[in-house]
C-alpha cells in the first residue's frame, strides 16, 4: 500500500507539457489553456499573417548572410531565458506573475532572445533569425494575449578575421554601405543619453558607431519594406488616408536591456500614434563568452521584433485573439507573401459583468495580482473573455477590509453568447476565486 500511495504522489508531482513529463513544484503556474497553444506554429503557416510577415522578412534578407531558425521548442530553462542573458535576480520579468513556469528551472520562453547563446555558438553565417511563439502572463485586451510571436535577428563580426583594425573598420563601412537605403524619415528624438546605456568598453567609438549604423539600417530596411507593402494594401482596400502618400516616419528611442548596450527601440508613426515594434542593441560581451566564444574577439547586434503588433497594423486586424482563430472566415483571407487588408465580419456584441469581493482580513492590497485574476477567468472562459479590468479598490475605514471590483467583458468572435452561458462561466470563476484566495463575494 505504501508503494501505491508513493506512486500516486509521484504521479501528481509531474505535469505533461506538449507530451513531455515535467516535475512540478511551488513555481508551477502553467495552465492547460496555455499548454494547448504549444504546437500551433502560426509562424510556419504560409497563409497566416504571422507566417507571411516572417517569410517576407526572411526573403528580404536572402543572400545577406542570415540563417533562419524556426523550430526551437518553447520549453526552455530559466538559465537560457534569463541567467545567461544577465537578467538581475530581482528583474520583474522573472516573477511568477509575469512568466509561465513549468517548475523552478523550466519555463515557457518569454522572448526569442532565450536562443541567442545557442545560435551564437552554432551558426555558421554572420547572422541569424529566430522566429517563434513566446509566452507571457499579461492582461487580456484587444492588443494583449498570453502567447504571441517574436522574430530575433543578430549579426556578428569576428576580429580575428581581419589582419588589422583598419581592415576591420573598412569591412564594417562596406557592410553598412551594402544595405539598401530606404525613404523612411528618421525623426530626431530629443533625448538625453541614458547613463546606463553606454557603449561596450571593449569596442572602440568607431566600431560602436558602425555596428549601430548597421543595426539601424537593417531594421529600417525591414520596417520600410513591410510598411510600403502595407500602404499598397490599404490603398487597394480603398483607404484615402493622406499619410499613405507620404514616406513613413520612424524614430529611435534609447532604452536598456540586460544583454545589450547601447540599446534602442524603434517606433513607427502609423495612424496618428507611435507604435513600438522592436527592441535592439549591441550585444554585451557576456553573451559571447556564455556561447563559448573567445571574449572580446566577437561583437555585433541583436533585435527582437513583435510580429502580431506589426501584423495587426499591416493587415488591419483589430483583435489579437483573431490570430489564434480556426474560423475559415479569418484563415481563408490570406495568401502567401502578400499583405492584404483584413475584412471584418459582423462583430457580435459584448457583455460586461462586474465581480466584487472583500479581500481576506489582513490581506495586503497586492496579495492578489491582476494577472492571477486573468488566469482564473481564462481557465473558465478561455477566449470568450475579451477584456478584464480592475475598476475599483477601496478600504472601509471602519472595518479595515478592502474591496476590489473587476469588470469582465465577454465576447465571441463567432456567435452570440447566451446569458445562461455567461452566468455559468462567472459562477465557476467565483467559486475558484473563493476557493483559492479566501475572498468574500459582495
Binding site for ligand FA5 (CB under 6 A): 111, 113, 136, 138, 144, 148, 150, 152, 257, 260, 276-281, 302-304, 306, 308-309
- How far, in Å, are 126, 157, 293, 298, 330 from residue 154 at the CA level? 8, 11, 15, 12, 33
113 versus 340: smaller Cβ distance to ligand FA5: 113
- Nearest approach in angstroms of CB 399 to ligand FA5 is 38
Counting every residue written for the chain, the total comes to 442
- Nearest approach in angstroms of CB 196 to ligand FA5 is 14
- Nearest approach in angstroms of CB 170 to ligand FA5 is 27
Q: Of all helices (H) and strands (E), which one includes residue 186?
A: strand 185-187
- Nearest approach in angstroms of CB 121 to ligand FA5 is 16
- How far, in Å, are 128, 244, 319, 320, 358 from residue 233 at the CA level? 29, 10, 19, 20, 51
276 versus 427: smaller Cβ distance to ligand FA5: 276
Q: Helical H runs in 69-183?
A: 78, 116-122, 165-178
CA 145/CA 160 separation, integer angstroms: 44
Beta strands in 337-426 (DSSP E): 351-358, 385-395, 402-410
- Nearest approach in angstroms of CB 98 to ligand FA5 is 10
307 versus 339: smaller Cβ distance to ligand FA5: 307
371 versus 411: smaller Cβ distance to ligand FA5: 371
241 versus 276: smaller Cβ distance to ligand FA5: 276
225 versus 421: smaller Cβ distance to ligand FA5: 225
Name the pairing type of β-strands 127-135 and 351-358. unpaired
267 versus 404: smaller Cβ distance to ligand FA5: 267
Q: Helical H runs in 103-250?
A: 116-122, 165-178, 205-236
- Nearest approach in angstroms of CB 53 to ligand FA5 is 12
- Nearest approach in angstroms of CB 263 to ligand FA5 is 6
According to DSSP, the residues that pair with 302 across neighbouring strands are 154, 281
In the three-class reduction of DSSP (H, G, I as helix; E, B as strand; rest coil), residue 299 is classed as strand
- Nearest approach in angstroms of CB 26 to ligand FA5 is 26
And the C-alpha cell for 388?
478584464
Q: Please state whether the peptide bond connecting residue 262 to the residue before it is cis, i.e. omega within 30 degrees of 0.
A: yes
114 versus 439: smaller Cβ distance to ligand FA5: 114
How many CA atoms are closer than 13 Å to the CA of 93, on its beta-carbon side?
17
| Measured distance between the N- and C-terminal CA atoms of the chain, rounded to whole angstroms | 46
151 versus 221: smaller Cβ distance to ligand FA5: 151
- Nearest approach in angstroms of CB 92 to ligand FA5 is 11
Residues 6+ apart with CB under 8 A from 200: 208, 261, 282, 284, 285, 299
Amino acid at each position: 500500500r505504501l508503494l501505491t500511495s508513493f506512486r500516486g504522489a509521484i504521479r501528481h508531482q509531474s505535469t505533461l507539457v506538449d507530451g513531455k513529463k515535467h516535475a512540478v513544484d511551488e513555481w508551477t503556474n502553467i495552465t492547460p489553456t496555455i499548454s494547448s497553444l504549444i504546437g500551433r506554429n502560426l509562424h510556419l503557416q504560409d497563409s497566416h499573417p504571422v507566417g507571411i510577415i516572417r517569410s517576407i522578412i526572411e526573403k528580404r534578407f536572402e543572400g545577406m548572410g542570415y540563417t533562419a531558425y524556426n523550430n526551437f521548442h518553447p520549453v526552455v530553462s530559466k538559465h537560457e531565458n534569463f541567467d545567461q542573458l544577465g537578467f538581475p535576480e530581482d528583474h520583474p520579468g522573472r516573477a511568477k506573475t509575469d512568466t509561465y513556469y513549468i517548475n523552478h528551472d523550466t519555463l515557457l520562453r518569454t522572448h526569442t532572445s532565450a536562443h541567442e547563446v545557442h545560435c551564437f555558438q552554432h551558426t555558421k553565417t554572420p547572422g541569424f533569425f529566430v522566429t517563434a511563439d513566446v509566452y507571457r502572463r499579461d492582461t487580456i485586451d484587444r492588443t494583449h494575449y498570453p502567447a504571441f510571436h517574436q522574430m530575433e535577428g543578430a549579426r556578428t563580426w569576428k576580429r580575428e578575421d581581419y589582419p588589422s583594425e583598419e581592415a576591420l573598420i573598412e569591412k564594417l563601412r562596406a557592410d553598412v554601405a551594402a544595405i539598401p537605403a530606404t525613404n523612411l524619415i528618421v525623426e530626431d528624438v530629443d533625448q538625453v543619453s541614458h547613463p546606463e546605456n553606454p557603449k561596450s568598453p571593449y569596442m572602440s567609438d568607431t566600431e560602436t558607431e558602425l555596428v549601430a549604423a548597421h543595426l539601424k539600417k537593417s531594421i529600417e530596411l525591414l520596417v520600410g519594406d513591410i510598411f510600403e507593402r502595407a500602404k499598397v494594401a490599404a490603398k487597394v482596400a480603398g483607404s484615402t488616408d493622406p499619410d499613405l502618400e507620404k514616406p513613413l516616419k520612424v524614430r529611435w528611442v534609447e532604452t536598456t536591456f540586460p544583454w545589450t548596450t547601447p540599446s534602442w527601440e524603434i517606433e513607427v508613426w502609423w495612424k496618428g500614434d507611435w507604435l513600438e515594434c522592436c527592441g535592439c542593441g549591441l550585444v554585451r560581451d557576456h553573451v559571447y563568452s556564455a556561447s563559448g566564444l573567445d571574449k572580446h574577439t566577437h561583437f555585433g547586434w541583436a533585435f527582437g521584433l513583435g510580429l502580431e503588433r506589426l501584423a495587426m497594423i499591416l493587415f488591419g486586424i483589430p483583435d489579437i485573439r483573431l490570430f489564434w482563430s480556426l474560423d475559415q472566415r479569418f484563415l481563408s483571407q490570406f495568401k502567401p507573401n502578400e499583405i492584404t487588408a483584413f475584412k471584418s465580419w459582423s462583430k457580435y456584441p459584448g457583455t460586461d459583468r462586474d465581480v466584487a469581493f472583500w479581500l481576506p482580513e489582513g490581506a495586503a492590497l497586492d496579495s492578489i495580482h491582476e494577472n492571477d485574476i486573468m488566469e482564473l477567468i481564462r481557465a473558465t472562459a478561455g477566449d470568450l473573455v475579451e477584456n478584464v479590468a480592475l475598476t475599483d479598490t477601496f478600504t472601509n475605514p471602519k472595518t479595515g477590509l478592502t474591496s476590489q471590483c473587476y469588470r469582465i467583458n465577454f465576447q465571441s468572435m463567432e456567435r452570440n453568447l447566451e446569458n445562461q452561458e455567461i452566468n455559468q462561466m462567472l459562477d465557476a470563476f467565483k467559486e475558484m476565486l473563493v476557493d483559492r484566495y479566501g475572498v468574500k463575494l459582495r
